[in-house]
Each structure stands twice: as C-alpha cells, then as structure tokens.
Amino acid sequence: MDEKPDWRIDALIAAILVPLQMPAILHPNSVGENALLTGIYLQLIGVLFVVSYFYPNRSYVLKGLMWCCEHTSHPVRGRWTAILWGSFAFVTGIFAQLHG
C-alpha cells in the first residue's frame, strides 16, 4: 500500500527545527547557547535522515531527504546513504555541542 505524505508531520518537523535555529539567525556573533542549539539541530537532522530510511513516504520532508540520498549522492547512490548522512549529521552535532 502506497501511503500519501502527511503535511501535519512536516509542520511538526518545522515547529521543532525552526525555533532551534532562531537564536543563531538573530544573534550570529554570540557563542555558547547557539552552539548547543545548533548541535541539537544537526542531531535532529541526522535523526530525520535515519527516519527517512525507514518511513520515506510518511511526509514530504522525509520523502525529500530520501530523494536527496537516492539522486545526489556520489559515488554511490541508494537508500543506505540516508543512514550514512544521518550519522554524519549526528556526529557533527555532537562536535558542535562540545565546542560550545
């Protein structure tokens, strides 16, 4: 059964991710809290990539992330790159948190 993407999940994703980046956008020169929030933001992006591997048709955001993994990865393309990109984003978020 082909599931139709749900825009409410996209709204929930935006409601979680946008407030995490607002302090960094509004006050780009401050250090500390922005690094912590940016690290959490990157970790959530990593989690979204991994979730898009398992549920690619649940929302438009997850579908878009899976499309990026299947069509823009070089040299190898495929669904497994969602886990690879997710782990890269999660580890980068850890380093951002440690820096702040």
Helix (H) or strand (E) holding 46: helix 33-54
- Which tens digit of pLDDT belongs to each residue from 31-67? 666 788 889 999 999 999 999 999 999 999 999 999 9
Boundaries of every domain in the chain? 36-100
pLDDT for the residue 20? 85
What average pLDDT does the structure give for the chain? 88
Q: Which residues have C-beta within 8 Å of that of residue 42, sequence separation ≥ 6? A: 89, 90, 92, 93, 96
